[in-house]
C-alpha cells in the first residue's frame, strides 16, 4: 500500500508544490492538444491529401484512449501510478512527434492513436496520484485546479493553434508540446519520490477479460464517432451497430450495479457520464444554433461558449473553498440541477422573441453547475475506493465520461444531419436531450451516498 503524505494545510505547501504544478501543467497540455488539434486538422488533411482518413484521426485516438484508461487502472492498482504516468507521457510525446513529422495521413493517424493511448494512461494515473499523495481535505481543491487547467486552453487554444498553423505551419501544433511535457512530469516525479513504493502485485483476476472488453468498447466508440459524421441510412446503421457494441462492452467496464444506479460508486460514475453528456451535447449545438437562428458570427458564438468555460472555473473554485457539505450528494445534486436549468434556459434562445442574453445567462448557470459537480464526483470516487481500487475506479469514472459523451454527440450529429438545414425543432430537441441527462442525474444524486453496511 502507498502511504499518503503527512497532512498539508495548503495545496501549494512546500511538500506538494512541485507535484501540484507538474500535475496541473500536464492536464493543461492534454487540454491544449485536445482543443488545438481540432483547429489544425482541416489544414493537415488538405496538406497530406487525407480527407478520407479525417474522421479516423479523431476516432482512432479516442478508441486508443478508452483501451488505455482501462489498462492504466489495472497497472496503477498493481504497481502504483509512477510507471503508468511515465509510460503515458512517453507515448503521448512519441505520438505527437510521429504526427508532427508525418508525410502521409496514414502515418498521422498512427501518431494520433499513440498520442491518445498515452493520454488515456496519463489521465487515470494523475487521478491515482491525487488519491495517494494528497490528504482528503485538499482533493476538492486539486480537482478544481485540474478544471481550471482546462479553462485557458479552452479560451486561447484554438486561437493559438490557428496562429501556429498560419505562421509556423501545422506541424508545430504537435511538435511544440513535448518541450513542456518532460519538465512537467519531472515535477510530479519529485513528489512521488516522497511516497512509499507499493509492493508489486500481479494483475487482478479478470484483468485480461477487462482489457478485451475495453478494446471492444473502444472500437464501438470509434465507430459511433464515425457514424455521427455520416448521413442517411449508412449513418443510422453505423450508429446502431456501435450502440449495440457499447451496450455489450461498457457495462463490463463500469462498477457492478451501474445500470440500476446502485448506491455509492455505481451512481457516482453514472452521474459523471450524465453530466459530461449533458454539457457536451449542448455545447456542440449552441454555436450552430446561434449562427443559423440568430445570425451570430463564428467568433461571437465562440464567445458564448467561453462564458460557460469561465463559469465552470468559478464553480470549481467555489466548491473547493466551501465548507464540506453535510451530505456528499449536495454538490452533485445542485451542480446537475444548475446544468439542467441552465441548458433549459439556453433552449429558449431558439425562438427569436427571446433575447440572446437569456441564453447566455443560462449557459453561465450550466457552466457553474459543471464546476460544482465535476470535481465533487472525482473526490467521491476516491473516497469510495480502497487504495488498491483507485486505478480501476478512476478509469471507470473517465470511461463513463468519454463513452456517454461519444454516444450523445453521435446521436446529436445524426439528428442534425438528418435534414438539409436544422431548424428550431431540431435544436430544441437535441438540447432537450441534454436537459434530460442533467435532470436525471440531479434526481439520482441522492444515491451517491452508500447504503448501510457500505463504507461511507
Distances (CA, A) of 429 to 126, 308, 354, 423, 436: 37, 21, 17, 10, 10
pLDDT on residue 5: 44
Return the closest-CA partner of residue 165 out of 100, 250, 253, 240: 100
Contact 74, 204 (CB under 8 A): yes
pLDDT tens, per residue, the chain with 456 residues = 444 444 555 666 667 778 888 888 888 888 878 777 776 777 887 888 877 677 677 777 888 888 899 999 988 888 888 889 899 999 999 999 998 888 888 899 899 899 989 999 999 999 998 888 888 888 888 888 888 888 777 776 666 777 787 778 888 888 888 887 888 888 888 777 766 566 666 666 777 888 888 888 888 888 877 766 666 677 778 878 888 988 898 888 888 888 888 999 999 999 999 999 999 888 878 877 887 777 777 667 777 778 888 899 899 888 888 888 888 889 999 999 999 999 999 998 888 888 888 989 999 999 999 999 989 999 999 989 888 888 889 989 988 988 888 888 777 766 666 655 566 777 888 889 899 999 999 999 999 988 654 544
Distance (Å, whole) CA 315 – CA 306: 14
- Output the 3-class SS for the chain: CCCCCCCCCCCCCCCCHHHHHHHHHHHHHHHHHHHHHHHHHHHHHHHCCCHHHHHHHHHHHHHHHHHHHHHHHHHHHHHCCHHHHHHHHHHHHHHHHHHHCCCCHHHHHHHHHHHHHHHHHHHHHHHHHHHHHCCHHHHHHHHHHHHHHHHHHHHHHHHHHHHHHHHCCCHHHHHCCHHHHHHHHHHHHHHHCCCCCCCCCCCCCCHHHHHHHHHHHHHHHHHHHHHCCCCHHHHHHHHHHHHHHHHHHHHHCCCCCCCCCCCCHHHHHHHHHHHHHHHHHHHHHHHHHHHHHCCCCHHHHHHHHHHHHHHHHHHHHHHHHCCCCCCCCHHHHHHHHHHHHHHHHHHHCCCCCCCHHHHHHHHHHHHHHHHHHHHHHHHHHHHCCCHHHHHHHHHHHHHHHHHHHHHHHHHHHHHHHCCCCCCHHHHHHHHHHHHHHHHHHHHHHHHHCCCCCCCC
Contact 77, 391 (CB under 8 A): yes
Distance (Å, whole) CA 33 – CA 241: 30
Which residues have a Cβ under 8 Å from the Cβ of 88 and sit 6 or more positions away? 68, 72, 118, 119, 120, 121, 122, 123, 125
pTM attached to this predicted model:
0.82
**Buried b or exposed e, range 45-76, using 16+ CB within 10 angstroms:** bebbebeebbbbbbbbbbbbbbbbbbbbbbbb
**Residue 340 CB neighbours (<10 A):** 24
Distances (CA, A) of 316 to 139, 141, 190, 367, 370: 12, 8, 27, 10, 8
Return the closest-CA partner of residue 76 out of 34, 134, 123: 123
pLDDT on residue 199: 62
Distances (CA, A) of 86 to 128, 172, 177, 393: 13, 23, 16, 20
What is the sign of the dihedral through the CA atoms of 427, 148, 66 and 219? positive
- What is the Cα gyration radius of the chain? 21
CA 26-324-333 angle, 5° bins: 80
Length of the chain: 456
Q: Which domains does the chain have, with CATH numbers?
A: 256-449 (1.20.1250.20)
Return the closest-CA partner of residue 188 out of 131, 116, 117, 133: 133
Distances (CA, A) of 206 to 40, 77, 89, 202, 213: 40, 13, 27, 11, 11
Distance (Å, whole) CA 19 – CA 128: 13
Residue with cell 451530505: 327
Distance (Å, whole) CA 205 – CA 17: 37
Q: Indicate the burial class of 451 (C-beta count within 10 angstroms; 0-12, 13-18, 19 or more).
A: exposed
Amino acid at each position: 500500500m502507498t502511504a499518503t503524505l503527512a497532512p498539508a494545510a495548503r495545496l501549494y505547501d512546500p511538500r506538494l508544490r512541485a507535484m501540484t504544478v507538474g500535475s496541473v501543467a500536464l492536464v493543461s497540455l492534454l487540454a491544449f492538444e485536445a482543443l488545438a488539434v481540432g483547429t489544425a486538422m482541416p489544414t493537415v488533411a488538405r496538406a497530406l491529401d487525407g480527407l478520407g482518413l479525417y474522421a479516423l484521426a479523431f476516432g482512432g485516438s479516442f478508441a486508443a484512449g478508452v483501451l488505455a484508461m482501462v489498462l492504466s487502472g489495472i497497472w496503477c492498482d498493481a504497481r502504483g501510478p509512477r510507471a503508468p504516468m511515465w509510460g503515458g507521457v512517453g507515448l503521448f510525446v512519441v505520438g505527437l512527434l510521429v504526427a508532427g513529422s508525418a508525410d502521409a495521413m496514414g502515418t498521422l493517424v498512427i501518431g494520433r492513436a499513440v498520442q491518445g493511448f498515452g493520454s488515456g494512461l496519463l489521465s487515470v494515473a494523475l487521478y491515482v496520484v491525487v488519491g495517494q499523495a494528497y490528504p482528503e481535505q485538499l482533493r476538492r481543491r486539486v480537482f478544481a485546479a485540474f478544471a481550471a487547467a482546462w479553462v485557458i486552453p479552452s479560451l486561447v487554444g484554438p486561437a493559438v493553434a490557428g496562429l501556429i498553423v498560419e505562421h509556423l505551419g501545422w506541424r508545430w501544433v504537435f511538435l511544440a508540446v513535448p518541450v513542456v511535457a518532460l519538465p512537467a512530469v519531472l515535477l510530479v516525479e519529485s513528489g512521488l519520490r516522497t511516497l512509499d513504493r507499493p509492493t508489486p502485485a500481479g494483475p487482478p483476476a479478470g484483468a485480461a477479460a477487462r482489457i478485451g472488453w475495453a478494446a471492444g468498447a473502444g472500437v464501438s466508440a470509434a465507430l459511433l464517432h464515425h457514424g455521427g459524421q455520416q448521413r442517411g441510412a449508412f449513418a443510422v446503421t453505423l450508429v446502431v451497430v456501435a450502440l449495440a457494441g457499447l451496450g455489450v462492452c461498457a457495462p463490463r467496464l463500469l462498477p457492478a450495479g451501474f445500470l440500476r444506479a446502485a448506491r455509492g460508486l455505481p451512481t457516482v460514475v453514472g452521474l459523471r457520464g450524465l453530466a459530461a453528456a449533458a454539457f457536451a451535447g449542448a455545447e456542440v449545438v449552441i454555436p450552430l444554433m446561434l449562427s443559423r437562428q440568430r445570425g451570430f458570427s463564428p467568433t461571437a458564438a465562440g464567445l458564448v461558449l467561453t462564458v460557460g468555460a469561465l463559469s465552470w472555473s468559478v464553480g470549481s473554485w467555489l466548491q473547493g473553498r466551501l465548507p464540506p457539505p453535510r451530505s456528499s450528494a449536495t454538490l452533485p445534486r445542485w451542480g446537475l440541477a444548475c446544468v439542467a436549468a441552465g441548458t433549459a434556459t439556453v433552449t429558449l434562445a431558439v425562438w427569436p422573441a427571446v433575447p440572446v442574453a437569456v441564453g447566455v445567462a443560462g449557459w453561465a448557470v450550466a457552466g457553474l453547475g459543471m464546476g460544482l459537480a465535476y470535481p465533487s464526483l472525482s473526490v467521491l470516487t476516491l473516497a469510495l475506493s480502497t487504495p488498491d481500487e483507485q486505478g480501476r475506479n478512476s478509469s471507470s469514472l473517465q470511461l463513463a465520461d468519454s463513452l456517454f459523451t461519444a454516444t450523445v454527440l453521435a446521436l446529436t450529429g445524426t439528428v442534425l444531419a438528418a435534414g438539409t438545414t436544422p431548424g428550431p425543432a431540431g435544436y430544441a430537441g437535441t438540447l432537450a436531450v441534454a436537459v434530460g441527462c442533467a435532470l436525471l442525474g440531479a434526481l439520482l444524486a441522492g444515491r451517491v451516498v452508500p447504503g448501510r453496511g457500505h463504507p461511507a
